[in-house]
Amino acid sequence: MKIAMIGHKIFPSRSGGVEVVVYELSTRLAKKGIDVTVYNRGLIKGKKKKDKEEGVNIVRTFTFKNQKLNAMVYSFLATFETLTGKYDIIHYHAVGICVPIFIARLFKKKTVATIHGLNWRVDKWKGFAAKYLKFGEKIAVKYADEIITLTPEMHRYFLDTYGRDTALIENAITPVRKTDDSIIKNKFGLEKDTYIFYFGRISPEKGVLELIEAYNKTDIEEKLVIAGEIPGNEFGEAVRSTASCNDKIVFTGFATGEVLNSLYCNASLYVLPSHTEGLSLSLLEALSCGVKCLTSDIVENTSVTGKFGMDFKTSDVDDLARALADGLKKERSVEEVDEQIKYIKNNFDYDKMVERHIETYERVIRDGFYH
């Protein structure tokens, strides 16, 4: 079986949710003897156009650096490159990337599209960008042989909106390994149970600015630790400015490996204040190590946390300020923490996720085009 994957920025990378999924899925498929090629976004000086890492073939595809054109140009050029690759499946990741699926269909290529989130809802995409993302969604519905959704809510959305059934394959994670606070004590001056933690993109739809505003309204002793790269744009400046008056707010930059594990494991409270989500890998990771979790009350978050989470009214700064204080005070038994850890381990397992993908690929190859 030969699979091509289009949609991520860089492989290997864990810089975003799509990148994590493509990395974990492609490397695990390769270990099972499946021929996987990932199409990276952009040529890199000093790097070969074609390469191979961790058993996965890499093709670097030209695109513009301009953010507004980057993904669109890349998705078309990568699609054209796959047409001569004799792939059994071209697997597209994210709705905006799905627009060229109609080209693959014209050349009788079989396609799978994973919808990581309804991106046209995201705050940062307006005007043409939002319309283009919505167009990608419609193209996927009309031309993709199979659509993969990550949550029951997303599955229902496609069924109710388009009458299109989808394969529900939830994201998976490797549970966060228990790690003491020695790393973050040396690196950031942080100790166990002395901080609130957010990890993810620092962008409008993630609610980070509201989190800082809410924290500033409280007299909480615990620090607020934000892990992620602050963008060099107007929103990034607003984040820096709003946090500048409070020396208890700590920005760590992007975190990975043992540093990230330690930040998760030793937090008093993990917070995900997002306005929109697909299925947050960061939330799953936080739950997997037993930390208390507070999220916005969007169904994509609350359906994951269930009885193991707390929530607040989305975008409501005052309610978030209240919830931060209440969340820090909440006590749990050892049994409740263990149950939370087992819940993630039993329901978001990589072996199950990979097998579901293989079953989906085999079904598409066997049954042909969607009608």
Q: 43-93 pLDDT, tens per residue?
A: 877 778 899 999 999 999 998 876 667 889 999 999 999 999 999 999 999
pLDDT (tens digit per residue) in 2-29: 999 999 999 998 878 899 999 999 999 9
Average pLDDT across the chain, whole number: 93
Instruction: Note the pLDDT tens digit of each residue in 279-323.
Output: 899 999 999 999 999 999 999 899 999 999 999 999 999 999 999
pTM here is: 0.87
> What pLDDT score does 345 carry?
93
Q: Which residues touch 178 (CB under 8 Å, ≥6 apart)?
A: 265, 289
pLDDT tens, position by position, 93-105: 999 999 999 999 9
What residues contact 85, with CB distance under 8 A and at least 6 apart? 2, 4, 37
Distance between CA atoms of 113 and 6, rounded to whole angstroms? 10
**Per-residue confidence (pLDDT) for residue 119, from 0 to 100:** 58
> Per-residue pLDDT for 195 more than 70?
yes
Q: Residue 124's pLDDT is what?
A: 53
Given a cut of 80, is residue 137 above it in pLDDT?
yes
Among 129, 128, 127, 75, smallest CA distance to 102 is for 75
Cβ-contact 166, 83 below 8 angstroms? no
Residue 353: per-residue pLDDT? 95
Average pLDDT of 210-214? 98
**What DSSP designation does 205 have?**
G
